[in-house]
């Protein structure tokens, strides 16, 4: 993140940290688990036990999207605050998949739009979102 914000990062970091822990913050996490951990989860589901992970406990966090439901100019919107993917998984369709999930959540929640902001200096992100359409 520091590279994206340059010298403004110290003040931006404080803002980002507050945004990330706000009660209205919502997340979709992409985690990598060992096959044995996934098998255990399915076995728990088959036995009638819920298996929901709030964190990537026992797994490796590969990426996330941070979003909120907000109102912009009297229109309810789903606002994407952050989409981050580990470099090893970029270019494999996960970012596109996360944005498709965001669009689905927005539609099911009857939001008027999906919005986000990209730093002009973040040319990779600009290209990614432009390619989405």
User: pTM score > 0.85 for this model?
Assistant: no
| Domain count across the chain | 1
Q: Which of 28, 42, 41, 13 is nearest to 95 (CA)?
A: 28
Q: Is residue 40 part of a domain?
A: no
At residue 126, what are phi and psi to the nearest 5 degrees? -60, -45
Range of the domain at 16: 2-28+62-132
Q: Are 58 and 33 in contact (CB under 8 A)?
A: yes
pLDDT digits 0-9 by tens, 74-124: 999 999 999 999 999 999 999 999 999 999 999 999 999 999 999 888 999
CATH code for the domain of 24 = 3.40.630.30
Considering the domain boundaries, does residue 37 fall inside one? no
In a domain, 48, yes or no: no
Q: Can you tell me the mean pLDDT for 43-63?
A: 61
**What's the pLDDT at 1?**
45
Q: Note whether residue 41 is domain-resident.
A: no
What is d(CA 29, CA 65) in angstroms, rounded to the nearest whole number? 7
């Amino acid at each position: 993140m520091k590279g994206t914000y340059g010298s403004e990062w110290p003040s931006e970091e404080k803002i980002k940290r507050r945004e990330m822990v706000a009660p209205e913050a919502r997340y979709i996490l992409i985690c990598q688990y060992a096959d044995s951990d996934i098998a255990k989860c399915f076995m728990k589901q088959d036995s009638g036990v819920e298996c929901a992970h709030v964190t990537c406990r026992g797994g490796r966090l590969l990426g996330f999207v941070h979003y909120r439901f907000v109102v912009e100019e009297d229109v309810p919107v789903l606002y994407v605050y952050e989409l981050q993917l580990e470099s090893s998984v970029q270019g494999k369709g996960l970012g596109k998949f996360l944005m498709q999930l965001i669009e689905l959540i927005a539609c099911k929640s009857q939001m008027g739009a999906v919005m986000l902001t990209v730093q002009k200096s973040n040319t990779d992100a600009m290209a990614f979102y432009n390619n989405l359409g």
